[in-house]
């Protein structure tokens, strides 16, 4: 909230101290670096056992049922409200708005008042849904790019290379890179400081190698984190790398939120209207909460818990970074209204979820405590 507010205050909407555009090279560079590191760090923290051993498998339900439903209903509503756009453009908007961001609700994830099962479910969901949403977003972008350039079947070959070579390269870099770092740590060739520093180079290597052979660098970065986990590196070594990746990722995230307020919000304000506002509010409420409720049928949770999980699906860094990726690939012209919806949704979410995290966590914690006493 603070970094976004500072960005807006310094932008032409406020004191007009700086003027930037989303297409600026420095903006794209910071965004790509942040996305690469965030995807790598999130994937390296994946614990498949958490998805399956948690009571009622709540994270798995949210990711395998709730997330696809959010994508589908978001696309359906968007197709009705923005009928002048192609279905692929509308779908891209809905997909970009589907991942959640636990960084905007850290007070929830870290609150001891909230039951651990609920906190872990929200945290695991937000850590994985950005990587899951990336391939279909790339699919929509490839189709839109092919349409604008009048190409035939080139987009299919491009997409196949992106989603096949990216994972292969990423898994290899993460797995073998982790093994080499583990060996160096075991023999005392690398101290803890350099173990921490190795997270960023691994993520960048996965990205660079994939792009050099025609794969997608972001998918490779995510799979690089998976490969590191599969490599079963020493726990201490992996934790050193994860701590650095999370810390540096958070630093870059804060910079991106500053850029969001400074460059992105001012560029789309003129396109906001009632239609954009209605979709943004629906995206943060019914388009999120209804799929969550459906996915948790049979999970033996009360309505307070389902509503709490449904509300704390904030849209943040993943949506901003995927938006910047779409701008870099497709440009803004012709997509102004749809991209303004994404920006408005994230802006509302930053403050709505940021301000409600602490009071709602305390209220929910008291309610659960009272219920356990009765």
Question: How high is the pLDDT of residue 237?
Answer: 65
280, 341 Cβ separation under 8 angstroms:
yes
Domain extent at residue 199 = 2-13+26-368
For residue 231, which of 188, 173, 191 has the smallest C-alpha distance? 173
Most confidently modeled range among 90-99, 172-181, 259-268? 90-99
Domain assignment of residue 19, yes or no: no
* Greater model confidence, 354 or 26: 354
Question: Number of structural domains, the chain?
Answer: 1
Domain assignment of residue 239, yes or no: yes
Question: Per-residue pLDDT for 106 more than 60?
Answer: yes
| CA gap 54, 60 in Å, rounded | 9
pLDDT band at 327 (very low <50, low <70, confident <90, very high): confident
- Whole-prediction pTM value? 0.86
Domain assignment of residue 254, yes or no: yes
Question: How high is the pLDDT of residue 43?
Answer: 78
Return the half-sphere exposure (C-beta side, CA atoms, 13 A cut-off) of residue 342.
32
Question: How high is the pLDDT of residue 56?
Answer: 58
Domain assignment of residue 373, yes or no: no
* Greater model confidence, 107 or 38: 38
Domain assignment of residue 272, yes or no: yes
Question: How high is the pLDDT of residue 311?
Answer: 93
User: pLDDT (tens digit, 9 = 90+) per residue, 155-164?
Assistant: 667 777 777 8
Domain assignment of residue 92, yes or no: yes
| CA gap 362, 224 in Å, rounded | 37
Angle of the 199-212 helix axis to the 235-259 helix axis, nearest 10: 70
Average pLDDT score over residue span 26-39: 81
Domain assignment of residue 305, yes or no: yes
Return the half-sphere exposure (C-beta side, CA atoms, 13 A cut-off) of residue 306.
19
- CATH number at 287 reads 1.20.1530.20
Most confidently modeled range among 122-131, 175-184, 331-340? 331-340
Question: Per-residue pLDDT for 233 more than 60?
Answer: no
| DSSP three-state, residue 355 | helix
pLDDT band at 250 (very low <50, low <70, confident <90, very high): confident
User: pLDDT (tens digit, 9 = 90+) per residue, 108-144?
Assistant: 877 778 888 888 788 788 878 888 898 899 889 888 8
Q: What is the mean pLDDT of the chain?
A: 85
- The proportion of the chain whose per-residue pLDDT surpasses 90, expressed as a percent, equals 35
Question: How high is the pLDDT of residue 149?
Answer: 62
User: pLDDT (tens digit, 9 = 90+) per residue, 35-93?
Assistant: 888 888 777 776 666 666 665 588 889 999 999 999 999 999 999 999 999 999 999 99
Average pLDDT score over residue span 272-285: 96
Question: How high is the pLDDT of residue 372?
Answer: 66
Question: Per-residue pLDDT for 246 more than 80?
Answer: no
Question: How high is the pLDDT of residue 50?
Answer: 60
Find where tokens 């991942």 sit: 99
Question: Per-residue pLDDT for 238 more than 70?
Answer: no
CA distances from 85 to 80, 284, 321, 332 (A): 10, 22, 22, 14
Domain assignment of residue 21, yes or no: no
């Amino acid at each position: 909230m603070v970094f976004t507010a500072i960005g807006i205050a310094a932008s032409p909407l406020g004191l007009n101290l700086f003027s930037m555009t989303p297409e600026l090279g420095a903006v794209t560079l910071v965004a790509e670096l942040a996305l690469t590191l965030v995807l790598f760090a999130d994937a390296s923290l994946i614990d498949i056992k958490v998805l399956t051993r948690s009571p009622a498998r709540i994270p798995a339900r949210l990711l395998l049922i709730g997330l696809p439903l959010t994508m589908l209903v978001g696309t359906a509503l968007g197709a009705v409200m923005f009928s002048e756009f192609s279905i692929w453009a509308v779908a891209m908007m809905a997909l970009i708005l589907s991942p959640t961001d636990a960084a905007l609700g850290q007070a929830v994830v870290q609150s001891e008042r909230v039951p651990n099962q609920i906190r872990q479910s929200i945290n695991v969901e937000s850590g994985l849904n950005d990587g899951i949403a990336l391939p279909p977003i790339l699919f929509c972008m490839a189709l839109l790019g092919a349409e604008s350039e009048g190409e035939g079947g080139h987009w299919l070959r491009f997409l196949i290379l992106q989603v096949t070579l990216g994972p292969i390269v990423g898994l290899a870099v993460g797995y073998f890179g982790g093994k080499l770092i583990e060996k160096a740590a075991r023999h005392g060739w690398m101290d803890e400081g350099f173990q921490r520093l190795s997270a960023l180079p691994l993520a960048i290597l996965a990205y660079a190698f994939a792009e050099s052979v025609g794969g997608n660098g972001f998918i490779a970065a995510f799979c690089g984190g998976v490969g590191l986990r599969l490599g079963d590196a020493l726990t201490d070594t992996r934790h050193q790398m994860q701590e650095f990746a999370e810390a540096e990722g958070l630093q870059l995230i804060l910079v991106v939120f500053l850029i969001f307020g400074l460059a992105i919000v001012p560029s789309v304000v003129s396109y906001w209207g009632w239609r954009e506002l209605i979709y943004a509010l629906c995206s943060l409420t019914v388009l999120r909460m209804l799929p969550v409720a459906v996915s948790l049928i049979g999970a033996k949770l009360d309505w307070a818990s389902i509503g709490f999980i449904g509300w704390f699906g904030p849209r943040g860094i993943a949506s901003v970074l995927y938006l910047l990726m779409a701008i870099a690939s497709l440009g803004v012209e012709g997509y102004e209204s749809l991209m303004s919806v994404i920006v408005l949704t994230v802006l509302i979410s930053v403050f709505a979820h940021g301000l409600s995290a602490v009071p709602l966590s305390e209220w929910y914690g008291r309610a659960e405590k009272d219920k356990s006493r009765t």
